[in-house]
């Protein structure tokens, strides 16, 4: 007979294995990957930590591509509604889930506490991001190609999660781009974990032909009271197009923060909530090199979408006001 202690331990272990979260859509790589597909749990919801490049890049799912006709649509100037869950069975795509339909409204993790998607509450949410590479062939995409174009700072919280798409997003080549969903959760609820779910995407309703600027590595520049920094250092921010946060892997990191001070998709790294409207080649007249002691910060072009969403910035010179 199995002892009560063993039963409780096993039950807890199973619940831990079913935790975490991912975006789900047929356009994604690894849509039908299960816990048995790999020698280790490499489902889309499984976290990425201390992995080599081939393991964490595209979640190791490049050999499990979507059907060419399954493409996630990104309406320029509109909202892209994603489904995020701990279990594909809790999404509209439950039919191909091993456990069947377990949907429960807008609940990310039905019948489980919010700790299962790594938060202590709404005020502890740290944001998710969508990034895009203007390449149709995913095998040609490298980490430096991805540009974050939308952030939802109150993610992961609901199954249906909207990401606002910049109005000036240009068309994709051959009607196809490569996108990815990224998430790093609060340090207060779980270990050092990254999440990356890649998918085929296409920008619809594009009216602009201005290309995206070359994305740069984000910098920690916002107020950080948890680590003793009460005020933001705006001159130390990365402005304009920014790469995703590649952190806590065995290879190819661009973020080197410690386990107790993770990088996040929010103001801490100058990711505004909503569309990233300053990611285009003509978004700025000038971007000085970021520095905590700099005397200048970038000067925006007077593009209406930028003025509405980005902080007003100007060039500061010693002795001038």
Cα(42)–Cα(284) distance, rounded to whole angstroms?
41
Which pLDDT tens digit goes with each residue over 11-27? 333 333 445 999 999 99
Query: Does position 190 have pLDDT exceeding 50, yes or no?
Result: yes
Cα 249 off chain centre by: 16
* Residue 282 β-bridge partners: none
Cα(34)–Cα(101) distance, rounded to whole angstroms?
16
Would you state the structure tokens that stand for residue 138, as one six-digit string? 């995913």
Structural domain for 175, as ranges:
19-284
The answer as to whether 115 is a domain residue is yes
Which pLDDT tens digit goes with each residue over 239-261? 999 999 999 999 999 999 999 89
Q: How confident is the model at residue 122 (pLDDT cuts 50, 70, 90)?
A: confident
Cα(261)–Cα(159) distance, rounded to whole angstroms?
27
The answer as to whether 171 is a domain residue is yes
CB 183 within 8 A of CB 128: yes
The answer as to whether 308 is a domain residue is no
The answer as to whether 10 is a domain residue is no
- What pLDDT is stored for residue 203 in this prediction? 99
The answer as to whether 139 is a domain residue is yes
How many domains does one find in the chain? 1
The answer as to whether 120 is a domain residue is yes
The answer as to whether 249 is a domain residue is yes
Which CATH number is 61's domain given? Answer: 2.70.50
Cα(293)–Cα(288) distance, rounded to whole angstroms?
12
Handedness of CA 300, 303, 308, 309 (dihedral sign): negative
Q: How far is residue 238 from each of residues 22, 145, 287, measured CA to CA in Å?
A: 27, 16, 9
Which are the contacts of 26, defined by CB distance < 8 A and separation ≥ 6? 66, 67, 70, 93
The answer as to whether 48 is a domain residue is yes
């Amino acid at each position: 007979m199995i002892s009560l202690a063993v039963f409780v331990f096993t039950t807890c272990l199973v619940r831990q294995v079913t935790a975490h979260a991912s975006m789900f859509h047929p356009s994604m790589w690894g849509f039908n990957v299960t816990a048995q597909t790999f020698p280790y749990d490499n489902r889309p919801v499984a976290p990425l930590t201390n992995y080599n490049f081939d393991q964490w890049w595209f979640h190791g799912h490049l050999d499990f591509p979507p059907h060419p006709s399954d493409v996630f649509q990104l309406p320029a100037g509109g909202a892209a509604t994603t489904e995020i869950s701990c279990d594909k069975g809790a999404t509209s795509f439950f039919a191909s889930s091993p456990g069947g339909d377990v949907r429960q409204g807008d609940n990310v993790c039905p019948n489980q506490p919010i700790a299962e998607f790594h938060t202590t509450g709404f005020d502890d949410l740290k944001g998710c991001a969508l990034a895009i590479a203007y390449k149709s062939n995913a095998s040609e995409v490298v980490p430096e190609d991805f540009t974050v174009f939308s952030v939802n700072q109150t993610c992961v919280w609901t199954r249906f999660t909207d990401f606002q798409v910049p109005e000036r997003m240009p068309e994709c080549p051959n009607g196809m781009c490569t996108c990815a969903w990224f998430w790093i959760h609060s340090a207060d609820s779980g270990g050092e974990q990254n999440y990356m779910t890649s998918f085929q995407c296409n920008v619809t309703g594009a009216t602009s032909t201005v290309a995206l600027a070359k994305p740069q590595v984000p910098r920690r520049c916002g107020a950080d009271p948890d680590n003793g920094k009460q005020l933001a250092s705006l001159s130390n921010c990365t402005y304009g197009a920014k790469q995703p946060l590649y952190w806590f892997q065995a290879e190819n990191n661009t973020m080197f923060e410690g386990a107790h001070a993770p990088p996040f998709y929010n103001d801490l790294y100058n990711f505004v909530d909503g569309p990233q409207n300053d990611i285009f080649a003509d978004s700025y007249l000038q971007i000085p090199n970021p520095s905590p002691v700099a005397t200048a910060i970038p000067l925006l072009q007077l593009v209406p979408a930028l003025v509405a969403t980005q902080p007003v910035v100007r060039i500061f010179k010693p002795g001038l006001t």
